[in-house]
Amino acid sequence: MKNPEPIPTASTLLGWYDRHARNMPWRVAPALRKTGVKPDPYHVWLSEVMLQQTQVSTVVAYFLDFLQKWPTIKDLALAPDDDVMKAWAGLGYYSRARNLKKCAETVWHEFGGHFPQTANGLAALPGIGPYTAAAMASIAFDEPVAVVDGNVERVFSRLFLIEEPMPQGKETVRRLVSQMLSRDRPGDFAQATMDLGATLCSPRKPACPLCPLAQSCLAAQEGIAQEFPRKLAKSKKPARVGAAFVIMNSKAEVFLQRRDARGLLGGMTAVPTTNWSVRADGATGAASAPVKGNWLARGKISHSFTHFDLELEVWALEGIEAIPLPGWWAGDETLSGEALPTVMKKVIDCAIGTSFTRINPAKGRKS
């Protein structure tokens, strides 16, 4: 790591942010912040949880949908679990939805609907890790604490030529952010750094000539910005296989079940499948189906999870009226409203030979 000359300052970054801040429904614009308007902690929390591993463009529609359904932390805390899981379907990383509900209940029942106002206090809540706690404390409550996500890592590793690969270099980045951040506008500083990383200081083809910190950025000066942050070589993800079984009755309704609350896709809605996981393959073939019948092979679908890739055989059975399994039937008018993760939508698409998004076009949600 090297120290740039001149040393980058918070005021330079904040001046750029005042002119170029991205417009987001959960964010208070910098001009309004200066007049004393503060972000709603509920909005900041909801957006930060949704934005974990998910792009802004995808999150916006979900965020607005959640606010329409549950305008306050009380509304979300008292909402049925199934409704929350249904609204979350398609966002992925479903443990986030379960923890979101637990956190809302905790804040409402134990804190009277008010979030703790420090990073340490927030980190004690269900589902709130160090990053989310810091982001909330900084943005919602103006605590001068370092907020470090992937965008911030990229900006600071380039500014200071941090040779430590990520994530090992995260603490070095955190220390540098703590030194540079604005004590007067810590929330705006956090969002400014994230905006810079998401727009100009992008992973590929960074727009260095337009960057407000270019004169201080060591990587830009040496023309090697794309080489940072350094990263360890990724190990190849394991590939798993299994089978999924789509059962339809004479009304063309699909048989659905709720997955166990624990484990991958916990609490979500699904068609019956074999027991595949990150550690083991699931059984394949019609012989592994949950009921006997004239099963038809519909093909295969592929889906990538964080820690493994999955290929599922898709089998279909039609004209069945009674199933000796726990579950329920869902037709065209209700299927798109079920808490179906993306992998299950792919399975159903493959089985019925149509696009899931055409089952109910009014839903209008990208998944």
Distance from C-alpha of 115 to C-alpha of 164, rounded to nearest angstrom: 35
At a CB cut-off of 8 Å and minimum separation 6, what does 207 contact?
A: 199, 200, 201
With tokens 């350094």, the residue in question is 230
CB atoms within 10 A of CB 360: 15
Q: Is 302 in contact with 309 (CB distance < 8 Å)?
A: yes
3-state secondary structure 172-191: HHHHHHHHHCCCCCHHHHHH
Helix axis angle, 81-88 to 95-111, nearest 10° = 140
Catalytic residue among 5, 48, 143, 338: 48
**CB-based burial of residue 327 (10 Å sphere; 0-12 exposed, 13-18 middle, 19+ buried)?**
middle
Which residues are 243's β-sheet partners? 313
- SS3 for 5? coil
Q: How many CA atoms lie within 13 A of 220 on its CB side?
A: 22
Handedness of CA 167, 173, 178, 180 (dihedral sign): negative
Distance from C-alpha of 256 to C-alpha of 270, rounded to nearest angstrom: 6
Distance from C-alpha of 158 to C-alpha of 207, rounded to nearest angstrom: 13
Distance from C-alpha of 117 to C-alpha of 136, rounded to nearest angstrom: 8
- SS3 for 112? coil
Is 48 an active-site residue? Answer: yes
Active site residues: 48
